[in-house]
Structures are given as C-alpha cells and as structure tokens.
C-alpha cells in the first residue's frame, strides 16, 4: 500500500502546472464555501442568541390561553405547584427568569408613543443577558425599584433623559386601568433595534402593581443547563405540568417565523455553494480526463508487463483523492485565520444594509461562526465529489484494451 501512495503522489506532480491549477480551483472553491457557510451560521447564531437572551429564552411556561390571545388577562399564576416543578428538575435547569410583559402608552408633555413594558426581576434578568452592561445613562434597576429604565431608541423618540418623568397608561388585569408616573432612572441601549425603539423596563413588583396582576406572570422563562437538551427538558416538563392550565413551549415554536426566514435564506446560499462545487467537479474531471488520455499507452504497457488492473485502478483513484485532499486542506488552512479574525471582529454594517437589518429587528453586524463543524461539513461534501469523480479512472482502467494501443 505504501508503494501505491508513493506512485500516486509522484504521478500528480509529473505535470506540476496542471496539478497546481486544479488544486488552486479546489482551494478557491473550498475557501469561498467555508466563508459563506461561516458567515451564514454566524448571522443565524447571533439572531437566535439575541432573541433568546432578550425576548423568549429557551423554554417558557405560559398560561394555556396565552398563545391564542397574548394579553395580560391570560397571565399565569406563579404558585407553589410551578415552584415545586422547578425544584423537581433543578439538576437540569440552570435558572429561571420571571417576566410580565404587556403594552402601554408612554407619554411626555408633548409626545405619546406605544411601548412594550417588561417587568423583570433584575437579579434573575442579569443571568440571561447583559442589560446592565448596556446602560448608557444613569443606572439599572434594583429589586423592588419604583423607577423605570428606558431603551435609548425610545428615549430619543420621546426626547427624555435620566431624571425625567414618564406617564404610562394601559389596561391592566381583567379590564383594570393601568396608569402611573415613573421617574427615568437609566437609559439602556439594546442590541436588538426593534426592542431598542419601544422597550421600557421596570421591576417585577412595580409591573405587577401597575397591571394589578398580584403574583401573575405572562411567562416564566427557563434556561436549561445544556441548551442542546432544550427539547427533551420541555417534553419532561410537559409530562409533569397541568396541561389544562399551563403549556410548555420552546424557542423553536416561539421563533417559528424567524426560523422559516432562515431556511429561505439558506436556500439562496446553497445555490451559491452548489456553483462552487460544480467548479470543483469540472476542474477535477478535466484533470482526470487529461491524465487518462496522456497515459493510456503507459497503462497498456504496464498491464502488458504484468501489473494487475486492480492495482493500477487503485493508483489512479488515489491520484484523484490526493489532488482533492490537498486542495481541501490548503483551503481550510487559508480560511482559518480569516474566519478567526472576523469571529472576534464582526463586520459592522452601514448604509442601506444596516437599515435593512434594523428593519428586521436585528443588530446591524455580520458575525462569523467558528467551529469544527463548519470545516468538516465542507470537507465532507468535497470528499463525496472526489469519490464520485475518482470512479471514472477506475472504470477506464478496466476498459482499456491493450491490443488497441500502438
């Protein structure tokens, strides 16, 4: 076998220019495929991470009617049976985040704007996201705080800053009037533009008083110890919860529209990557065809001297694999520092592209993902192409007729 490897490797470099051109085409295609895939995966991961941390969490326990009518009237009562359920799965749950979320009109003396009011437990909320680190003015909420924190986009629209007073008016539990005046304690810049333009934070206790919900929550967010076990944990929770009153829902269900958009976008990327793979395939086929034509007499002579067809076919097959693997490995080596750089330094978008991203509610950056699966997935596809193309010289070797070669 060592002799086969040596002969195959030497045969590749008998025509260095042709081999280098073929390998370069594989390098170029693999490099672009890895960059496209890394950029796409990085964008998806950033979107999902932002939505999970700032909005949905991985798992939510909701009132059974909340999905059909997401209003404060369909909030769940955070009673002992829910707490006992959380204790039962304490080894699988990292932490939970209670939230009450509804809408209200936020008004100054001159401007009125619809806003999403989020009642949070500051200590629990700090475990799921980095809102405290995003404060640009003032300070963040503390437990049982009576003041509010306003997102910077909304603050700009209303023309307010820390120390100003904001009037909130909405509808509380079972038709009660929700109204109050609140001092702005801080301004926070959220990474999700859509939320940055309409979000107000207040302490959970203050929100429950404002909406007159007592011990109710619109959602209880659960963060698993292992995010990869989200589905299994949600299934187990559903088995032990009273499904007549509560429902357990995962982030895939809550972000179904976003996932559908990602799948549609991935289809366009796959078309681009298929073009690159076609380039690889035709480059390999052209090289293999040329090699077979040039060496047909050589093959006939070798077989006439006693070399078995199976061994000759194995050498030709290895030549195809060597050319492909050399290009794939070189492409990975070239792609690694590029991806690693953009992984730590995401591309900041500007102009129309940034506006388009903001309109979809996402941070206007283009991050890259970095992980072994990004490289392995592309190498696997190119390997399949190499195996298919490599069968052609095997076929030709078995079809050679020695008597026809002069």
Q: Which residue in this structure is represented by tokens 């009153």?
A: 245
Cβ atoms of 248 and 61 closer than 8 Å: yes
Examine residue 249 and state whether it is found in any structural domain, yes or no. no
Q: Are residues 47 and 70 in the same domain?
A: no
Give the span between the Cα atoms of 112 and 78, in whole angstroms.
Answer: 33
d(C-alpha 406, C-alpha 402), whole Å: 9
Tell me if 163 sits within 8 A of 172, measured CB to CB: no
Do 296 and 195 have their domain in common?
Answer: no
For strand 59-63 and strand 246-250, is the pairing parallel, antiparallel, or unpaired? Answer: antiparallel
Over residues 62-72, the pLDDT tens digits come to 988 888 888 88
- The pLDDT value recorded for residue 358 is 59
Contact 284, 93 (CB under 8 A): no
Cα–Cα distance measured from residue 125 to residue 127, given in angstroms and rounded to the nearest whole number: 5
Are residues 76 and 44 located together in one domain of the fold? no
| Whether residue 206 has pLDDT greater than 80 | yes
215 and 359, same domain (yes or no): no
Residues with Cβ within 8 Å of residue 247, at least 6 apart in sequence: 61, 62, 63, 64, 66, 67, 238
Q: Do 284 and 24 touch, CB atoms closer than 8 A?
A: no
Residue 169 is encoded by which pair of tokens? 């008016």
- Quick one: which of 243, 252, 216, 210 has its CA closest to 106? 210
Are residues 301 and 214 located together in one domain of the fold?
no
Residue with the bigger pLDDT between 183 and 356: it is: 183
Count of domains in the chain? 2
Residue 89 inside a domain? The answer is: yes
Q: What is the mean pLDDT of the chain?
A: 83
Distance, in Å, from the CA atom of 126 to the CA atom of 105, rounded to the nearest integer, reads 26
Q: Supply φ then ψ for residue 171, to 5 degrees.
A: -115, 125
Please determine, for residue 39, whether its predicted confidence score (pLDDT) is greater than 80: yes
Check residues 45 and 108 and name the one with the higher pLDDT: 108
3-state secondary structure of 161: coil
Q: Which percentage of the chain shows pLDDT scores above 70?
A: 94
351 inside domain: yes
pLDDT of the residue at 129: 79
> Is the same domain home to 238 and 340?
no
The pair of three-digit structure tokens given for residue 80, joined into one six-digit string? 């002992």
- Chain-centroid distance of CA 141 in Å reads 30
Tens digits of per-residue pLDDT, 98-152?
999 999 999 998 899 999 999 999 888 888 877 888 899 999 998 888 999 999 9
Quick one: 90 and 197 in the same domain? yes
pLDDT given for residue 150 in this prediction? 94
> In this structure, are 89 and 112 located in the same domain?
yes
The encoded tokens of residue 79 equal 């009673």
SS3 283: helix
96 - beta bridge partners? Answer: 222
Q: Tell me what pLDDT residue 380 has.
A: 81
Supply the pLDDT for residue 389: 80
Q: Is residue 250 part of a domain?
A: no
Report how far residue 210's alpha carbon sits from residue 171's, in angstroms, rounded to the nearest whole number: 9
Residues 6+ apart with CB under 8 A from 100: 72, 75, 118, 119, 204, 207, 208, 211, 213, 216, 217, 218
Closest CA to 141 of 207, 194, 88: 207
What is the domain extent for residue 376? 2-51+258-404
Do both 399 and 335 map to the same domain?
yes
- 78 Cβ neighbours under 8 A, 6+ residues apart: 98, 215, 216, 217, 220
Spatial separation of the C-alpha atoms in residues 284 and 280, rounded to whole Å: 6
CA–CA distance, 338 with 379 (Å, rounded to integer): 17
Residue from 148, 141, 219, 158 nearest 180 by CA: 148
* Cα dist from 234 to 203, 205, 296, 370, whole Å: 27, 28, 63, 28
pTM confidence score: 0.66
CB atoms < 10 A from the CB of 268, how many? 10
pLDDT tens for each residue of 71-82: 888 888 888 888
Does residue 87 sit in the same domain as residue 234?
yes
Residue 76 belongs to some domain of the structure: yes
Residues 388 and 328 in one domain: yes
**H or E element: which one contains 394?**
helix 372-399
Q: Are 75 and 17 in a shared domain?
A: no
Structure tokens at 242: 């009273």
């Amino acid at each position: 076998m060592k002799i086969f490897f040596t002969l195959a490797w030497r045969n590749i470099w008998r025509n260095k220019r042709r081999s280098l051109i073929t390998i370069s085409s594989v390098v170029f295609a693999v490099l672009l495929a890895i960059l496209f895939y890394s950029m796409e995966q990085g964008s998806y991961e950033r979107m999902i991470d932002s939505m999970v941390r700032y909005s949905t969490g991985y798992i939510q326990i909701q009132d059974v009617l909340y999905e059909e009518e997401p209003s404060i009237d369909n909030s769940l009562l955070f009673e002992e049976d829910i707490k006992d359920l959380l204790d039962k799965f304490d080894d699988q749950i990292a932490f939970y985040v209670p939230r009450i979320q509804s809408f209200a009109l936020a008004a100054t003396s001159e401007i009125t704007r619809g806003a999403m009011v989020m009642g949070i437990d500051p200590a629990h909320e700090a475990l799921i996201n980095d809102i405290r680190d995003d404060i640009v003015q003032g300070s963040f909420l503390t437990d049982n705080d009576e003041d509010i924190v306003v997102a910077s986009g909304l603050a700009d629209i209303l023309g307010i800053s820390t120390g100003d007073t904001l009037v909130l008016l909405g509808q509380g539990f079972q038709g009660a009037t929700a109204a109050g005046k609140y001092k702005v304690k801080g301004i926070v810049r959220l990474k999700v533009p859509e939320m940055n333009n309409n979000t107000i934070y207040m302490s959970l206790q203050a929100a429950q008083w404002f909406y007159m919900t007592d011990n109710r929550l619109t959602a209880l967010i659960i963060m698993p110890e292992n995010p990869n076990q989200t589905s299994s944990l949600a299934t187990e929770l559903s088995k032990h919860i009273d499904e007549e009153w509560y429902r357990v829902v995962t982030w895939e269900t809550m972000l179904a529209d976003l996932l559908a958009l990602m799948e549609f976008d991935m289809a366009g990327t796959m078309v681009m990557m298929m073009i690159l793979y076609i380039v690889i395939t035709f480059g390999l086929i052209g090289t293999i065809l040329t090699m077979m034509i040039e060496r047909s007499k050589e093959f006939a002579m070798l077989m006439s001297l006693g070399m078995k067809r199976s061994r000759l076919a194995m050498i030709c097959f290895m030549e195809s694999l060597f050319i492909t693997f050399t290009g794939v490995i070189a492409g990975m080596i070239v792609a690694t520092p590029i991806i690693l750089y953009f992984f730590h330094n995401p591309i900041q978008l500007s102009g129309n592209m940034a506006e388009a991203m903001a309109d979809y509610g996402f941070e206007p950056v283009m991050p890259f993902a970095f992980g072994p699966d990004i490289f392995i997935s592309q190498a696997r596809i190119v390997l399949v192409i190499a195996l298919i193309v490599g069968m052609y010289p095997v076929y030709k070797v078995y079809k050679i007729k020695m008597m026809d070669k002069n």
